[in-house]
Amino acid sequence: MNTANKLTMLRILLIPVFLVVLYMDFAASRYVALGIFILASLTDFVDGHIARSRGLITDFGKFMDPLADKMLVMAAMLWFVEVGRMPAWALLIVVVREFAVSGLRLIAVDNGRVIAAAWSGKVKTASTMVGICFMLVFPIAWLDTLVTAVIVVTTVYSGVEYFVKNKDVIDWSHM
């Protein structure tokens, strides 16, 4: 297993640690969880850079890297929903977008086409991860609402953009 793939696996292994720390609810648990979340988030940028710069792009990485990102973000958002700091409908929008874009990519691959990550998807991921960091540090209702709004807007925008830019992937005439 190459270095980039090891970092992806580290990110996945940090997810239960992140959640356990949050559920322990000790005085500094939010800050420890924040450190774990930041470390896990940074492995995303580092493993991508390593894979591209060293030509270490593998099928494992193509599959597990985006899955690890989704698992990390969903774990944090599920915790926020459970503790009443984020509405479940916001998480549902994120989940539906992820399934829809993944489905679109599967159809595209079946037709011999690859849909690369769009800029709006990268903005969505970055703003979501930064927003989660703010929510971990500052449990303030208006901030929770603001971060949730940013996550929902960037998620919807990027999802719509994927479908608009790739509308030819699906034969809509058979609906």
| Tens of pLDDT, residues 34-71 | 999 999 999 888 887 787 788 777 777 777 888 899 99
Which is higher by pLDDT, 156 or 170? 156
Sequence-distant (6+) residues with CB within 8 A of 136 are 30, 31, 33, 34, 37, 76
Residue 61 burial by Cβ neighbours in a 10 Å radius (0-12, 13-18, 19+):
buried
C-alpha closest to that of 166 among 126, 125, 122, 106: 106
pLDDT score recorded for residue 124 = 95
What distance in Å separates the CA atoms of residue 61 and residue 136, rounded to the nearest whole number? 28
pLDDT of residue 160: 96
- Tracing tokens 């992806």 back to the chain, one arrives at 8
How high is the mean pLDDT of the chain?
Answer: 91
Report d(CA 78, CA 58) in Å as an integer: 30
Query: What are the CA-CA distances from residue 53 to residues 3, 6, 9, 16, 134 (Å)?
Result: 12, 16, 19, 30, 31
pLDDT in tens, 75-121: 999 999 999 999 999 999 999 999 999 999 889 888 888 887 789 99
Look at residues 162, 166, 151 and name the one whose alpha carbon lies nearest to residue 73: 151
Report domain extents, the chain.
3-174
Residue 37: per-residue pLDDT: 97
Give the separation between CA 165 and CA 122, rounded to whole angstroms: 16
Domain spanning 3-174, CATH architecture = Up-down Bundle (1.20)
Q: Please say if the pLDDT value at position 172 is more than 80.
A: no
